[in-house]
Amino acid sequence: MNHNKKRNVGIIYELLVKAVSAYLVEDDKSKAQIALDILGKHYNKKTELFKEFRLFQALAKSTVKDASVAAAVLAESKAASRRFNTVKLNNEKSALIREINYNLKDQDFYHRNVPDYRIYATIQTLLNSWREGDRSNLSETVVIESTLVDWLKTDKQQVSEHVEVDSNVDKLVVKIMNEKFNNKYANKLTLEQKNLVNDYVFSMQNDDGVSIKSKAMKIQQDAIKEMKLIRSTETNPVILEKIDLVEKRVNELDFLDMNDDKIVKLMTLTQLINEIKEN
């Protein structure tokens, strides 16, 4: 497939979000703000680029039960793709690339890993092919459509994404926060810790952190309970002294005002509880 990732509306969005996340971890707030401004400027509802992005996301994220429904989705998407103002769309993409290159000046920008890159390339290639109409390669288009039908039938729901997103939640902020933690701690997070981060982000967005604060205090009490169980059976004075010190520090933790540092401490507590139970 002839594919230019710089003009792929889905890939560029992912790269911008990853860039914001990386800059936040590096504490480069100025550069993070530039990337956010680029997102806000080019991915807004008034642009043709956003219209294509919305269609792109529908094809990338939707799951259907059978091939006939998938075929219907493709037919509707094909019609929608041909209603875009192609000239305006291409000009907006050129402006977006230019702004990324000249304002961010990030040599790593286009080299960051994008999950599902292949299917993103497939979707953009198909959108381009549909717009070309009779000028497109029909046999190639049929193959790509078949690939996309298989993708639409694939279940995309993940365990760590179990929280229902309220319509008022800023999904970009949620995505950035998850990226921020995942980039910083890489593969060190357990599934429980990843879900804790996910709950933290949604809770702070939806209910002023009430849910995550309740969960934090329960984890705190569970940790104290486990340490008391150890103390009831342990006879080594050195270990007992260390348990007393750890318990004192755990008791002193205050989760009334949640922030990134507190959630990291909370993840450490979950790890501590798991290690105690395993031993």
Confidence band for 12, pLDDT divided at 50, 70 and 90: very high
Outline where the chain has alpha helix (H).
9-25, 29-42, 48-61, 67-81, 86-99, 117-132, 138-152, 171-185, 191-206, 210-233, 237-252, 260-278
b/e 263-273 (16+ beta carbons within 10 angstroms → b): bebbbebbebb
pLDDT at 58 over 70: yes
Q: What is the pLDDT of residue 1?
A: 54
pLDDT at 50 over 50: yes
Provide the mean pLDDT of the chain.
79
- Of residues 33 and 92, more confidence is placed in 92
Neighbouring C-alpha atoms within 13 Å toward the C-beta of 250: 26
Q: Angle 86-99/9-25 helices, nearest 10 degrees? A: 20
Q: What is the pLDDT of residue 264?
A: 75
Please tell me the distance from the alpha carbon of residue 172 to that of residue 146, in angstroms, as a whole number. Answer: 31
Q: What is the pLDDT of residue 98?
A: 96
Please tell me the distance from the alpha carbon of residue 98 to that of residue 6, in angstroms, as a whole number. Answer: 10
**Average pLDDT in the 226-252 region?**
81
pTM: 0.58
**Average pLDDT in the 168-187 region?**
54
What distance separates the 2 farthest-apart alpha carbons in the chain? 82
Confidence band for 179, pLDDT divided at 50, 70 and 90: low
Neighbouring C-alpha atoms within 13 Å toward the C-beta of 209: 12
